[in-house]
Amino acid sequence: MRIILSPAKKMRMDDDTLPADGLPVFLKEAEQLRDWLRALSYEELKALWKCNDKIAQQNIERLQNMDLQKRLTPAILSYDGIAYQYMAPNVFEDGAFSYVQEHLRILSGFYGVLRPMDGVTPYRLEMQAKASIEGKNLYEFWDRKLYDEVSDGSGIIINLASKEYSRCIEACLRPSDRLITCVFGEIEKGKVVQKGVYAKMARGQMVRLMAENHVQQPKELKSLDVPGYGFDEDRSDERNFVFIKRETRDA
Protein backbone atom coordinates (compact mmCIF):
# COMPACT_ATOMS: atom_id res chain seq x y z
CA MET A 1 0.00 0.00 0.00
CA ARG A 2 1.23 3.44 -0.92
CA ILE A 3 0.06 6.91 0.15
CA ILE A 4 0.41 9.89 -2.18
CA LEU A 5 0.58 13.50 -0.98
CA SER A 6 1.08 16.86 -2.67
CA PRO A 7 4.14 19.00 -1.95
CA ALA A 8 3.89 22.56 -0.58
CA LYS A 9 4.95 25.86 -2.12
CA LYS A 10 6.53 27.03 1.12
CA MET A 11 9.84 25.30 1.85
CA ARG A 12 12.67 25.62 4.30
CA MET A 13 16.18 24.34 4.83
CA ASP A 14 16.93 22.23 7.90
CA ASP A 15 20.09 20.15 7.85
CA ASP A 16 20.30 19.97 11.66
CA THR A 17 17.16 18.13 12.87
CA LEU A 18 17.71 14.95 10.86
CA PRO A 19 20.14 14.08 8.08
CA ALA A 20 18.72 13.26 4.66
CA ASP A 21 18.82 9.59 3.72
CA GLY A 22 19.42 9.22 0.01
CA LEU A 23 18.79 11.30 -3.09
CA PRO A 24 15.62 11.55 -5.19
CA VAL A 25 15.23 8.76 -7.72
CA PHE A 26 14.68 11.26 -10.55
CA LEU A 27 17.70 13.44 -9.80
CA LYS A 28 18.75 13.62 -13.47
CA GLU A 29 15.31 14.91 -14.43
CA ALA A 30 15.46 17.48 -11.63
CA GLU A 31 18.84 18.66 -12.92
CA GLN A 32 17.31 19.01 -16.39
CA LEU A 33 14.45 21.08 -14.99
CA ARG A 34 16.84 23.24 -12.97
CA ASP A 35 18.88 24.01 -16.07
CA TRP A 36 15.71 24.81 -18.03
CA LEU A 37 14.54 27.20 -15.30
CA ARG A 38 17.92 28.91 -15.19
CA ALA A 39 17.65 29.66 -18.91
CA LEU A 40 14.38 31.60 -18.48
CA SER A 41 14.25 35.36 -18.09
CA TYR A 42 13.04 37.12 -14.94
CA GLU A 43 9.68 37.92 -16.52
CA GLU A 44 9.27 34.36 -17.80
CA LEU A 45 9.98 32.94 -14.35
CA LYS A 46 7.63 35.37 -12.66
CA ALA A 47 4.85 34.41 -15.07
CA LEU A 48 5.58 30.70 -14.62
CA TRP A 49 5.52 30.98 -10.84
CA LYS A 50 2.56 33.40 -10.74
CA CYS A 51 4.11 35.32 -7.89
CA ASN A 52 5.12 38.81 -6.78
CA ASP A 53 8.58 40.36 -7.15
CA LYS A 54 9.70 39.41 -3.64
CA ILE A 55 8.97 35.71 -4.14
CA ALA A 56 10.39 35.78 -7.67
CA GLN A 57 13.66 37.29 -6.46
CA GLN A 58 13.93 34.78 -3.61
CA ASN A 59 13.49 31.83 -5.96
CA ILE A 60 15.84 33.21 -8.61
CA GLU A 61 18.54 33.43 -5.93
CA ARG A 62 17.75 29.83 -4.99
CA LEU A 63 18.11 28.80 -8.63
CA GLN A 64 21.44 30.55 -9.02
CA ASN A 65 22.87 28.78 -5.96
CA MET A 66 21.03 25.48 -6.30
CA ASP A 67 23.06 22.36 -5.57
CA LEU A 68 20.95 19.22 -5.71
CA GLN A 69 23.48 17.09 -3.83
CA LYS A 70 24.70 19.26 -0.92
CA ARG A 71 23.14 20.87 2.16
CA LEU A 72 19.93 18.91 1.73
CA THR A 73 16.87 18.64 3.95
CA PRO A 74 14.69 15.51 4.24
CA ALA A 75 11.67 16.18 2.04
CA ILE A 76 9.17 15.63 4.83
CA LEU A 77 10.88 18.35 6.89
CA SER A 78 11.55 20.67 3.98
CA TYR A 79 7.92 21.29 2.99
CA ASP A 80 6.32 23.80 5.33
CA GLY A 81 2.74 24.04 4.07
CA ILE A 82 -0.42 23.44 6.08
CA ALA A 83 -0.59 19.67 5.51
CA TYR A 84 2.98 19.24 6.74
CA GLN A 85 2.45 21.50 9.75
CA TYR A 86 -0.51 19.34 10.83
CA MET A 87 1.37 16.15 10.05
CA ALA A 88 4.04 17.43 12.49
CA PRO A 89 6.89 15.13 11.38
CA ASN A 90 9.31 16.98 13.66
CA VAL A 91 7.74 15.12 16.60
CA PHE A 92 7.50 11.71 14.90
CA GLU A 93 8.88 8.73 16.76
CA ASP A 94 11.27 6.38 14.98
CA GLY A 95 8.51 3.93 14.09
CA ALA A 96 6.50 6.66 12.39
CA PHE A 97 9.48 7.70 10.27
CA SER A 98 10.03 4.09 9.22
CA TYR A 99 6.35 3.80 8.28
CA VAL A 100 6.23 6.91 6.10
CA GLN A 101 9.54 6.07 4.47
CA GLU A 102 8.04 2.78 3.34
CA HIS A 103 4.52 3.92 2.45
CA LEU A 104 4.40 7.67 1.76
CA ARG A 105 5.38 9.21 -1.57
CA ILE A 106 5.35 12.97 -2.15
CA LEU A 107 4.61 14.02 -5.71
CA SER A 108 6.51 17.00 -7.11
CA GLY A 109 6.63 18.98 -10.33
CA PHE A 110 10.39 19.39 -9.88
CA TYR A 111 11.54 16.12 -8.28
CA GLY A 112 8.84 13.80 -9.61
CA VAL A 113 8.45 11.42 -6.67
CA LEU A 114 10.08 11.76 -3.26
CA ARG A 115 10.46 9.41 -0.35
CA PRO A 116 10.11 11.32 2.93
CA MET A 117 13.80 11.13 3.81
CA ASP A 118 15.14 11.99 0.33
CA GLY A 119 17.38 15.04 0.47
CA VAL A 120 15.95 18.09 -1.29
CA THR A 121 16.63 21.79 -1.63
CA PRO A 122 13.98 24.54 -1.86
CA TYR A 123 12.52 25.09 -5.33
CA ARG A 124 9.36 26.48 -6.91
CA LEU A 125 7.65 24.57 -9.70
CA GLU A 126 4.02 23.50 -9.54
CA MET A 127 2.87 20.55 -11.60
CA GLN A 128 0.22 22.61 -13.40
CA ALA A 129 2.62 25.43 -14.29
CA LYS A 130 2.50 26.41 -17.96
CA ALA A 131 5.88 24.94 -18.75
CA SER A 132 7.39 23.95 -22.08
CA ILE A 133 10.38 21.64 -21.76
CA GLU A 134 11.30 20.37 -25.21
CA GLY A 135 7.72 21.15 -26.19
CA LYS A 136 6.21 19.26 -23.25
CA ASN A 137 4.29 20.45 -20.20
CA LEU A 138 5.16 18.88 -16.85
CA TYR A 139 2.49 16.19 -17.08
CA GLU A 140 3.92 15.11 -20.44
CA PHE A 141 7.49 15.48 -19.19
CA TRP A 142 6.89 13.05 -16.31
CA ASP A 143 4.45 10.81 -18.23
CA ARG A 144 4.25 7.34 -16.58
CA LYS A 145 7.38 7.70 -14.47
CA LEU A 146 5.50 8.87 -11.39
CA TYR A 147 2.97 6.04 -11.47
CA ASP A 148 5.68 3.43 -12.03
CA GLU A 149 7.68 4.77 -9.08
CA VAL A 150 4.68 5.01 -6.75
CA SER A 151 3.43 1.50 -7.51
CA ASP A 152 4.59 -1.10 -5.01
CA GLY A 153 2.86 -4.19 -6.42
CA SER A 154 -0.06 -4.11 -4.00
CA GLY A 155 -2.30 -2.15 -6.37
CA ILE A 156 -3.56 -0.03 -3.45
CA ILE A 157 -2.93 3.71 -3.40
CA ILE A 158 -4.34 6.02 -0.72
CA ASN A 159 -4.85 9.41 -2.33
CA LEU A 160 -4.23 12.37 -0.03
CA ALA A 161 -3.00 14.57 -2.88
CA SER A 162 -4.74 17.45 -4.59
CA LYS A 163 -6.28 16.89 -8.03
CA GLU A 164 -3.36 18.75 -9.62
CA TYR A 165 -1.01 15.99 -8.47
CA SER A 166 -3.23 12.92 -8.19
CA ARG A 167 -4.09 13.15 -11.90
CA CYS A 168 -0.48 12.12 -12.64
CA ILE A 169 -1.26 8.77 -11.04
CA GLU A 170 -4.92 8.42 -12.01
CA ALA A 171 -4.10 8.73 -15.72
CA CYS A 172 -1.94 5.60 -15.55
CA LEU A 173 -3.99 3.31 -13.31
CA ARG A 174 -4.42 -0.30 -14.34
CA PRO A 175 -7.83 -2.04 -14.06
CA SER A 176 -6.53 -4.04 -11.10
CA ASP A 177 -5.46 -0.94 -9.16
CA ARG A 178 -7.53 0.53 -6.36
CA LEU A 179 -6.95 4.22 -5.78
CA ILE A 180 -8.84 5.41 -2.70
CA THR A 181 -9.36 9.15 -2.43
CA CYS A 182 -9.92 10.52 1.08
CA VAL A 183 -12.44 13.35 1.05
CA PHE A 184 -12.56 15.71 4.05
CA GLY A 185 -15.61 17.91 3.82
CA GLU A 186 -18.63 19.41 5.48
CA ILE A 187 -22.29 19.32 4.61
CA GLU A 188 -23.76 22.44 3.01
CA LYS A 189 -27.30 22.31 1.66
CA GLY A 190 -27.14 18.54 1.64
CA LYS A 191 -23.90 18.33 -0.34
CA VAL A 192 -20.33 17.47 0.65
CA VAL A 193 -18.10 20.52 0.24
CA GLN A 194 -14.32 20.42 0.62
CA LYS A 195 -12.62 23.61 1.77
CA GLY A 196 -8.97 23.89 0.84
CA VAL A 197 -7.35 24.86 4.14
CA TYR A 198 -9.35 22.40 6.24
CA ALA A 199 -8.81 19.57 3.76
CA LYS A 200 -5.05 20.18 3.83
CA MET A 201 -5.06 20.11 7.63
CA ALA A 202 -6.94 16.82 7.64
CA ARG A 203 -4.67 15.22 5.03
CA GLY A 204 -1.63 15.98 7.15
CA GLN A 205 -3.32 14.63 10.26
CA MET A 206 -4.33 11.49 8.37
CA VAL A 207 -0.70 10.78 7.42
CA ARG A 208 0.35 11.24 11.05
CA LEU A 209 -2.39 8.91 12.32
CA MET A 210 -1.58 6.27 9.71
CA ALA A 211 2.06 6.39 10.76
CA GLU A 212 1.30 6.28 14.49
CA ASN A 213 -1.09 3.34 14.03
CA HIS A 214 0.99 1.56 11.37
CA VAL A 215 -2.04 1.22 9.11
CA GLN A 216 -1.65 -1.61 6.59
CA GLN A 217 -5.15 -2.00 5.13
CA PRO A 218 -7.54 0.60 3.69
CA LYS A 219 -10.37 -0.45 6.03
CA GLU A 220 -8.30 0.72 8.99
CA LEU A 221 -8.61 4.31 7.77
CA LYS A 222 -12.30 4.32 8.64
CA SER A 223 -11.65 4.13 12.37
CA LEU A 224 -8.87 6.74 12.57
CA ASP A 225 -9.78 9.67 14.78
CA VAL A 226 -9.01 12.61 12.51
CA PRO A 227 -9.74 15.63 14.76
CA GLY A 228 -13.16 17.08 14.03
CA TYR A 229 -14.10 14.46 11.40
CA GLY A 230 -15.97 11.18 11.30
CA PHE A 231 -16.08 8.53 8.59
CA ASP A 232 -19.38 8.61 6.67
CA GLU A 233 -20.26 5.10 5.51
CA ASP A 234 -23.33 6.20 3.56
CA ARG A 235 -21.47 8.77 1.46
CA SER A 236 -18.42 6.55 0.88
CA ASP A 237 -17.73 3.80 -1.61
CA GLU A 238 -14.83 1.53 -2.55
CA ARG A 239 -12.83 4.35 -4.13
CA ASN A 240 -13.91 7.36 -2.08
CA PHE A 241 -13.64 7.43 1.70
CA VAL A 242 -15.64 10.42 2.90
CA PHE A 243 -14.97 12.05 6.26
CA ILE A 244 -17.43 14.71 7.37
CA LYS A 245 -17.00 17.48 9.92
CA ARG A 246 -18.93 16.26 12.90
CA GLU A 247 -20.92 19.45 13.53
CA THR A 248 -22.27 19.33 9.95
CA ARG A 249 -23.07 15.62 9.65
CA ASP A 250 -26.79 16.08 10.12
CA ALA A 251 -27.08 19.37 8.23
- Domain ranges for the chain: 2-248
CA quadruple 106, 142, 199, 184: dihedral sign: negative
Q: Is the pLDDT of residue 251 over 60?
A: no
The closest of 205, 190, 128, 192 to 160, measured between CA atoms, is 205
At 250, the pLDDT band (50, 70, 90 cuts) reads low
At 144, the pLDDT band (50, 70, 90 cuts) reads very high
Query: How many angstroms separate the Cα of 74 from the Cα of each of 19, 57, 81, 134, 191?
Result: 7, 24, 15, 30, 39
In angstroms, what is the C-alpha Rg of the chain? 18
Q: Is the pTM of this model over 0.75?
A: yes
Strands 178-188 and 240-245: parallel
What are the phi and psi torsion angles at 133 (to 5°)? -105, 110
Q: What's the pLDDT at 118? A: 98
| Stretch 36-44: mean pLDDT | 96
At 16, the pLDDT band (50, 70, 90 cuts) reads confident
pLDDT in tens, 84-128: 999 999 999 889 999 999 999 999 999 999 999 999 999 999 999
- 242 forms beta bridges with 183
Q: What angle do CA 230, 209, 238 make, to 5 degrees?
A: 55
Share of the chain above pLDDT 70, in %: 98
Q: Is the pLDDT of residue 249 over 70?
A: no
Q: What's the pLDDT at 246? A: 85
Cα separation, 162 vs 117, in Å, equals: 21
| Stretch 222-248: mean pLDDT | 93
pLDDT in tens, 170-185: 999 999 999 999 999 9
What are the phi and psi torsion angles at 210 (to 5°)? -60, -40
Could you please report the per-residue DSSP string of the chain? -EEEE---S-B---SSSS---S--TTHHHHHHHHHHHHTS-HHHHHHHHT--HHHHHHHHHHHHT--TTSS-EEHHHHB-SHHHHHH-GGG--HHHHHHHHHHEEEEETTTEEE-TT-EE------TTS---BTTB-HHHHHTTHHHHHH--SS-EEEEES-HHHHHHHHTT--TT-EEEEEEEEEEETTEEE--HHHHHHHHHHHHHHHHHHT--SGGGGGG---TTEEE-TTT-BTTEEEEEEGGGTT-
- 114 forms beta bridges with 106
Q: What's the pLDDT at 237? A: 96
| Stretch 131-154: mean pLDDT | 95
Q: What's the pLDDT at 189? A: 86
